[in-house]
Each structure stands twice: as structure tokens, then as C-alpha cells.
Structure 1
Amino acid sequence: MSGRRSYARPLDGTDRITTRVEAEELLIEAEKVVRSTDPYLAGHFPEVTLYPAIFLLDGIRQAAGAELHRSPALAAHLGPGSPGEDWLELGTLTSARVLRPMLEGDELRLLIRVSAGRPGVLRAALDCRRGDSTQVAKMTVELVRGGTS
């Protein structure tokens, strides 16, 4: 073995992403529609498509990783990485609260605020709302540099 980690392709955590940099933060707005046809959802809960909160965590990780290039200061805060080591991993789950179920057809809006945390760590705060503006979840996680994607 070469010592390189490989990963299975994850579920797409978002359908669409828009991003802006504001001061020292990366502000990401991502959208995800809950579809029963998405992989891994068919057997999650009998007869009801219920979106697992763990997928929100991966949505945070994916969106922040995909958009990190827009903020060189935050990328530098993670510390140097070898070429190709742009994969972000979930470090610490600081807080997580699911307030409402996320069901088939729900249009989720993930508002993610990424900022510098302690050295080598990014802090990502999520405010997740349905299309009708009802808050369904809020989470705060730490992201760290991982292996290769």
C-alpha cells in the first residue's frame, strides 16, 4: 500500500452552491432537495423519506471544501498541505440540534458561515431552513485538512 487514503464517492450533500467572502469569513448558501430517489434514502425509514441529519454534516464538509479556494486566508489557516490534500474532514462536532424532520420534497437551504478557528482548524456554523423559512437544524463543526479526495 502506498499510504494514500482513498474514499468512496459520497452522496452529493448539495444541489447548488453560491458563495461570497465577507471580511474573514466564507459565507456559503447551499440548496438540497430531499428526494426519495437519492442513494441511501430508500431504506432509511420505512414508508417515509426522512433525510438523516448526518447528511447535513457531510453537506457542510463538501460545501466548505468546494468553496475554500475563494478564501486564500482560510485555506492558509489550515496550514500547508501536500499537493492534492484538499479534502476536508469533520473534526469536532461542537453542537447539533435538529428541530424538525426533513421529508421528501423539502427544499433545504443550508446557510454556512466558515471562519478561522484554532490553528489548523476551520469553524463552520450551519443554519438549515426549509423553503418556507422554518428552521430545521443548526450545527457547529470544526473542519480539518484530510487526505486526498
Structure 2
Amino acid sequence: MSGRRGYARPIDGADRITARAEKDELLIEADKVVRSTDPYLVGHFPEITLYPAVFLLDGIRQAVGSELHHSPALTAHLGPGGPGETWLELGTLGSARVLRPMLEGDELRLLIRVSAGRPGALRAALDCRRSDGAQVAKMTVELVRGGTS
């Protein structure tokens, strides 16, 4: 074994992502539709398509990683990273609360507010809502550089 970590292709955390920098924060909106045909959901829960809340964590990581270029200040706060550190990793999970199940056909809107955390880390706060406005989850995570794509 070479000692190099390998990764499988991640799930698609969002179908659409938009972002804008505002003062010292990056505001991201990401949309995800729960589909029973997505291969990662087959057999997850017998007879019902139930979107795993842990996938929201990867959705945060992917959305922030893809849109970080909109905020040079946050990119600088995160630091350059070392060799091979080309994507963001979950540093810590500050809080996670799932309020409602996410079912087949639900259109989820991930509202992510990103700010500077401790040196070399970003703080991302998630407010996840269905298309009817009902809040389904909220989470706070720390993101750091690490991993290889």
C-alpha cells in the first residue's frame, strides 16, 4: 500500500449552486431534489426513499469548496494547504439537528452562511428547507483543507 488515501467519487450534494460574498461572509444557496433513482439511495431504507442527513454534510462541503473563490478573504483565512490538499474536509461538527424527514420528491434548499473560524478553518452554518418553506435541518460545521480529489 502506497500510503496515499484514495476516495470514491462523492455523491452530488447539489443540483444547482449559487453564491455571493457579503462583507466577511459567503452566502451560498444550493438546491437538491431527493430522487429514489439516485444510486446511493437504493436500499437505504426499506420501501421508502429517505434522504440520509449525513449527505447534507457532504453537500455543505461540496458547495463551499466549489464557491469559495467568490470570497478571497475567506480563501486567504483558510490558507494555501499542503501538497495534495485540494479539497475541503469536515473538521468538526458543531451541531446537527434534523427536524423532518427528507423524502422522495422533496426539493431541498441548502442555505449556507460561511465565515472565518479558527485560523485555517471556516465555519459553515446550514439552514435546510423544503420548497414549502418548512425547515428540515440545521447544522454548524468547521471545514479545513485536506484530502485529494
- The question of a shared fold, defined as TM-score above 0.5 by the shorter chain, is answered with yes
- Does the residue aligned with 1:64 lie in a helix, a strand or coil? helix
| Structure 2: 5+ residue stretches without partners | none
Q: Quote the offset at 1:6 in angstroms.
A: 2.6
Number of matched pairs = 149
Q: Measure the CA separation in 2 of the matches of 1:147 and 1:10.
A: 13
Q: Does residue 30 of structure 2 align to residue 30 of structure 1?
A: yes
Aligned partner of 2:72 in structure 1 is 72
Aligned match of 1:42: 42
- TM-score, normalising length: structure 1: 0.95
Corresponding residue of 1:94: 94
Matched to 2:140, the amino acid is: T
Which AA in structure 2 matches 1:38?
D
Runs of 4+ deviating beyond 6 Å: none
Q: Distance in 1 between matches of 2:84 and 2:25?
A: 23
Provide the aligned C-alpha RMSD in A: 1.3
On the 8 A contact 2:81/2:146 being kept in 1, the answer is no
1:82: how far off? 3.9
Is the 1:11–1:39 contact (alpha carbons within 8 Å) kept by the matching residues of 2?
A: no
Give distance in 1, aligned partners of 2:23 and 2:116.
12
Aligned-pair identity in percent equals 85
Shift of 1:3: 4.8
